[in-house]
Structure 1
Amino acid sequence: MLPIIPDPFKLVVRQIKTEDGYKADPTALKQLEVIRKLLGQADQVISCTDAGREGELIMRYVLEYLGYHKETKRLWISSMTEKSIREGFNNLKSSKEFDNLYRAAKARRESDWVVGMNASLSLSMAAGKSNYSLGRVQTPTLGMICRRYLDNRDFIAKSYYLLQLRTTKAGEELVLTCTGKYDTPEKLDTDRKKVYEEKTAKVVQVEKKEVSEEAPLLYDLTALQR
């Protein structure tokens, strides 16, 4: 019976499919036990997950599942260069500053599950099939891809015209091209006549400046992903 809304949502270890049904992934269980042991030995916990909602949510879920409720510190950096990492560790923040970020991520994840699960089942039942999938991100993204494909498929090339001004100064020819585009040669000819009736061209503004730029840094992982 729809809608399916868990109350409450429960954290479980990642599941894998076996001959006897779905069971907790032994690898994940083993890693969680390693983290549990380290938490018991640690004087302080620093969260170094990605600086964003999903990174915050992952760390909080792990700590919540393992029953760790002490205050932690947060490393908040957006670059993986050595300089940025050192600056981040020198300016650690309290995890409490990111409570609202965690709540936003948790609400989004749970709403994604509710929308995806119920919308997918509803569409599959209405269509009489069981392989339709809808989601907050995947469905509009697929829609964008389809629209782009249709735009490309149905694109019709059209000719356009540009207005150029040729003038000379001290024996040197200067060619200037207007940024505006004309759909028909008649519109272009009207403006061309207005320009050439002036006989002379006057420069109304010149801007000259020197800019010094440092060589760009190499791409870090975050920049490459972005």
Structure 2
Amino acid sequence: MKRSEFIHILSQLLQPSAIKDFAPNGLQVEGAETVHKIVTGVTASQALIDAAIKLGADTILVHHGYFWKGESPTITGMKKRRITSLLTNDINLFGYHLPLDIHPELGNNAQLAKLLDMHYEGGLESGANSVAVKGRLHTPLTADEFAQKIAQVLERKPLVCAPRGKKIETIAWCTGGGQGYIDLAAEQGIDAYLTGEASEQTIHSAREQGIDFFAAGHHATERYGIKALGEFLAGEYGFDVTFIDIDNPV
């Protein structure tokens, strides 16, 4: 498939122009004119690029790409080595950040809900394209039971702060670095909040506002959207797609 057609498919599917983001969504580094063999992964690290080269991929599709707001615009050091590897091997790099978080079926939030038996009811923020969402556990669980389920499903023991001492029924969640939404969840009287990371102040927010909190890992909560996107592209359009998980303990 021509690269231009591939771009159109992803743009129609993920609607990147509908949301403001911290990095450009779509084609970030131009490579081969045709797309056939795709490697998907969470982050466009050197390890992922090297694995794609070894597989003979012409395209890499990730959640965390390049050119973030606030970073140095110079192409030096680590960034130079990564981009040199892509250009030398004529590999396209596509990155989709928030559009992949919020997609209602393939997105990180949607995939995490499916894995942990959480029912989506709506956005935590007002308006369209809320990055954080809310809903209910299909089966109410104690904080310990829910933590055990997270550890089993995501293969990562979560950080837990559970001041309520009651079963969790309502829950809000945001994959990755979404700890800042805990206050909004607490304001709405939600029992628990799940995300990838925690900040120092997050635990105080949980304790003082009486909301259970779970941090299950930035990487661990965001493996599944990009994997689902690759599987969709393989099934719908016949691409040769390989998901490669470069693990990250954060």
Q: Please state which band the TM-score falls in when normalised by the shorter chain.
A: under 0.3
Between structure 1 and structure 2, the one with the greater Rg is: 1
Q: Counting helix residues as a fraction of each chain, which structure ranks higher?
A: 1
User: TM-score, with normalisation over the residues of structure 2?
Assistant: 0.21
Task: Name the one with the larger strand percent.
Answer: 2
Question: 1 or 2 for the larger relative contact order (CA 8 Å, sep ≥6)?
Answer: 2
